[in-house]
A and B are shown apart, each in its own frame.
Chain A
Amino acid sequence: MPSRFLPLIACLALPGALCAADPIRVSTFSTVLTEVAQQVGGDRVVVTGHIKPGIDPHEFEPKPIDLKTVSQSQLVLLSAKHMEGYVNKLKEATGGKSRVVEVGDQFPSLKMKDDHDHAHAHGKGKDDDHDELVEDPHWWHSVANVKRAAKVVRDELAKIRPDDQAIFKKNADTYLASLDSLQSWVKTKVAELPRDRRKLVTSHDAFQYFAKENGFTIYAIEGVSSSDQPSSKKVAEIVAAIKAQNVKAVFPESIENPKVLTEITRETGAKIGGELYADGLGDDDAATYAGMVKHNVAAIVDALK
């Protein structure tokens, strides 16, 4: 008998001993959480990232193949703070057999105006009142929040596989140390910009957590969803603010059409800064969390100097 079958036979004969080493199947619905799960889980997990880089998570809807994968997962990680309007579908798909963790709900929220399509994500009808305050779901723009997320994932993996708790802690500690360095890099880079020039005009209201940590004021041209369209009044207010505050640059984001920003730059003379990754990881230098953060921060600071 070929020796390569021996582990399989042993596994079938002694499932409690050898098959316990099977990797934990994890499904994630955030590109950032995909990285967190891979870093903390290491070779003890197999992670399926259902939202790929460049996909708008505000618009994502799981397909039958996603639900099938979720039904076979032991841990499902969601961004939450109402980002995923389809959470009940996922819970149904698991049949209550796996852990569905709404990671962002484990730490404090900033509030933002729910002025347009966010009703979609809340599962509300279109006739619901607009302009109410909702939780801002873009928590990953704070490195401190991603550190919190890594701890949540570490603890959840340890609940599923207590024997590997020490491995998850070691992996998490290494990842947290890299996030400490990233946080320090952000503070140092942002310190190159005078505090009175920290005014961020973006096409998508996604950077509140970053702004709060680093002393920026946000002038968002849209509300929560990147499919929102701004009113003429809102655009006029932003143009006035840009002129009065002498803002040097405005920023499109990686996903949507920056047409409105082009109009604003024509009115104000501000230049268009580099593209920002608002809704998760991207390609090339933004393919990792640290890469995405450094790309965004360098683009903002260098353009506003």
Chain B
Amino acid sequence: MRGSPLFYALLAFLGIALVGFPVYSLTRPYAVKTEATATATPAPSHAPVKVPIEFAFTAEPKSMRVKHLGKVVWSVDAPGARTDTELSLEWPQEGVDLLVEITWPENTPLAAARLTLTDSHQEEQTRSIWGEGSASEVLTFR
């Protein structure tokens, strides 16, 4: 006894749908679920903090400047043997990089600069850089 072709077609469709859905779920490319998002730590935002900063030089430079994120944040001509200021910097927990550029007068022998700043945790950090004629160095503070 033969049934209706429409009935068999419906039966076949149901069979394909029953098998197809789980197969698709297993094999679809890069089935990205959002539950993993909950386990990741969101990136914090950072308000600028006041950062007292001071330079001391073994020989008086012609000029010095400090860049943060590619922008000049402090620049002084003829700063003398010491100079200081207060910068306003965003200070993420990963720390900050400052690019320090110093130029000494011609014929100045090898000279050094000591940079001291007070970080976002109110702790003093010190770095030194050396140069003959000029110095350009990225200093990292955490």
Q: Please report A residues at the B interface, Cβ cutoff 8 Å.
A: 184, 187-188, 190-196, 198, 215, 232, 235-237, 239-241, 243-246, 260, 263-264, 267
Q: State which of A187, A196, A260 has its C-beta within 8 Å of the C-beta of B92.
A: A196
Q: List 14 A-B contacts (CB under 8 A).
A: A187-B137, A188-B99, A191-B97, A191-B98, A192-B69, A194-B69, A194-B90, A194-B94, A195-B97, A232-B31, A237-B36, A240-B40, A243-B40, A263-B30
Pair A188/B40 contact, Cβ less than 8 Å:
no
Does B136 interact with chain A (Cβ within 8 Å)?
yes
Pair A260/B69 contact, Cβ less than 8 Å:
no
Does B23 interact with chain A (Cβ within 8 Å)?
no
**Closest-CB distance, B136 to chain A (whole angstroms):** 7
Q: State which of A184, A191, A198, A237 has its C-beta within 8 Å of the C-beta of B69.
A: A191
Top 9 A-B residue pairs of the complex, sorted by shortest distance between their CB atoms: A244-B40, A196-B92, A195-B94, A192-B70, A240-B36, A191-B97, A187-B138, A240-B37, A240-B40
Could you tell me the distance between the alpha carbons of A240 and B39 in the complex, rounded to whole angstroms? Answer: 8
Contacts of A191 in B (CB 8 A): 67, 69-70, 97-99, 138
Pair B70/A235 contact, Cβ less than 8 Å:
no
Could you tell me the distance between the alpha carbons of A236 and B136 in the complex, rounded to whole angstroms? Answer: 42
Could you tell me the distance between the alpha carbons of A188 and B138 in the complex, rounded to whole angstroms? Answer: 6
Could you tell me the distance between the alpha carbons of A181 and B90 in the complex, rounded to whole angstroms? Answer: 29
Contacts of A236 in B (CB 8 A): 30-33, 36
Most buried by B among A194, A215, A245: A194
Does B109 interact with chain A (Cβ within 8 Å)?
no
Contacts of A237 in B (CB 8 A): 36
Could you tell me the distance between the alpha carbons of A61 and B38 in the complex, rounded to whole angstroms? Answer: 44
Pair A188/B136 contact, Cβ less than 8 Å:
yes
Pair B40/A235 contact, Cβ less than 8 Å:
no
How many residues of B are counted as interface, with CB atoms below 8 angstroms from the partner's CB atoms?
Answer: 31
**Closest-CB distance, A217 to chain B (whole angstroms):** 9
Contacts of B69 in A (CB 8 A): 191-194
Most buried by A among B30, B34, B70, B92: B30
A-contacting 9-mer, from B1-9, B41-49, B74-82, B116-124? B41-49
User: Nearest CB to that of B34 among chain A residues?
Assistant: A240
Pair B36/A239 contact, Cβ less than 8 Å:
yes
User: Nearest CB to that of A189 among chain B residues?
Assistant: B70
Pair B32/A267 contact, Cβ less than 8 Å:
yes
Could you tell me the distance between the alpha carbons of A188 and B90 in the complex, rounded to whole angstroms? Answer: 18
User: Nearest CB to that of B28 among chain A residues?
Assistant: A232
Q: State which of A184, A193, A240, A245 has its C-beta within 8 Å of the C-beta of B43.
A: A245
Contacts of B70 in A (CB 8 A): 191-192
Contacts of A196 in B (CB 8 A): 43-44, 46, 92-94
Q: State which of B32, B67, B136 has its C-beta within 8 Å of the C-beta of A239.
A: B32
Contacts of A192 in B (CB 8 A): 69-70
Could you tell me the distance between the alpha carbons of A297 and B96 in the complex, rounded to whole angstroms? Answer: 18
Pair A195/B40 contact, Cβ less than 8 Å:
no
Pair B29/A263 contact, Cβ less than 8 Å:
yes
Pair A244/B42 contact, Cβ less than 8 Å:
yes
**Closest-CB distance, A153 to chain B (whole angstroms):** 28
Q: State which of B31, B33, B140 has its C-beta within 8 Å of the C-beta of A215.
A: B140
Considering only residues 71-117 of chain B, those with a C-beta below 8 Å from chain A are: 90, 92-99
Could you tell me the distance between the alpha carbons of A190 and B99 in the complex, rounded to whole angstroms? Answer: 10
User: Nearest CB to that of A186 among chain B residues?
Assistant: B138
Could you tell me the distance between the alpha carbons of A235 and B32 in the complex, rounded to whole angstroms? Answer: 7
Could you tell me the distance between the alpha carbons of A190 and B94 in the complex, rounded to whole angstroms? Answer: 14
